[in-house]
Amino acid sequence: MALLQFSSFVSKAGHIATIPLNEQTTVTADWYTAICLPKVITELRKINPERRIILHQDNISSHTAQKTRQYLTEENLELFDHPPYSPNDFFTFPKIKNRLRGQRFQSPEEAADAFKNAVLDLPANEWNKCFENWFERMQMCINLRGEYLEKQ
């Protein structure tokens, strides 16, 4: 069984892009800045060329590398620090996992397409609820000075 890795980008409006790693085993700063981010930026600028882009990403090494920070600066992208309980942690991945649970795919491309379609099938009001919930959770963390934990 092959492991499929990809980066997926969403906004309050829903899916922006899903980019497979294509035979790579890890996300590197080289791949992220040469292949992944240019595709994402292109898609975002198609949607609204005048709107500023604020990127929220987690803190894996390829996202925090000097090369990535330099690329983001050159492209005039703002970076939103990765707070606890991001939308991917409590919304995107659990919902998508449930939709894809038990399925088998013949190729990495088929799996990436299934993921993308599952994301695209989520209605806009679900994305709005996701981001509203995220802001509420961040406010709880602020109010409790970082001592906020959810029961599992």
pLDDT of residue 38: 95
Element (H, E) at 16: strand 14-20
Residue 20 within any structural domain of the chain: yes
Number of domains in the chain: 1
pLDDT of residue 90: 67
Closest Cα partner for 91 from 56, 120, 119?
119
pLDDT of residue 67: 95
Residue 29 within any structural domain of the chain: yes
* Domain of 100, in residue numbers: 6-143
Residue-wise pLDDT tens digits, 2-26: 556 778 887 777 778 888 887 666 7
CATH number at residue 84: 3.30.420.10
Specify the 3-state DSSP secondary structure of 48.
coil
Residue 148 within any structural domain of the chain: no
Model pTM above 0.75: no
pLDDT of residue 152: 45
Residue 149 within any structural domain of the chain: no
pLDDT of residue 30: 93
pLDDT of residue 29: 92
Residue 150 within any structural domain of the chain: no
Residue 1 within any structural domain of the chain: no
Considering only 53-67, 98-112, 120-134, which range has the smallest mean pLDDT? 120-134
Residue 152 within any structural domain of the chain: no
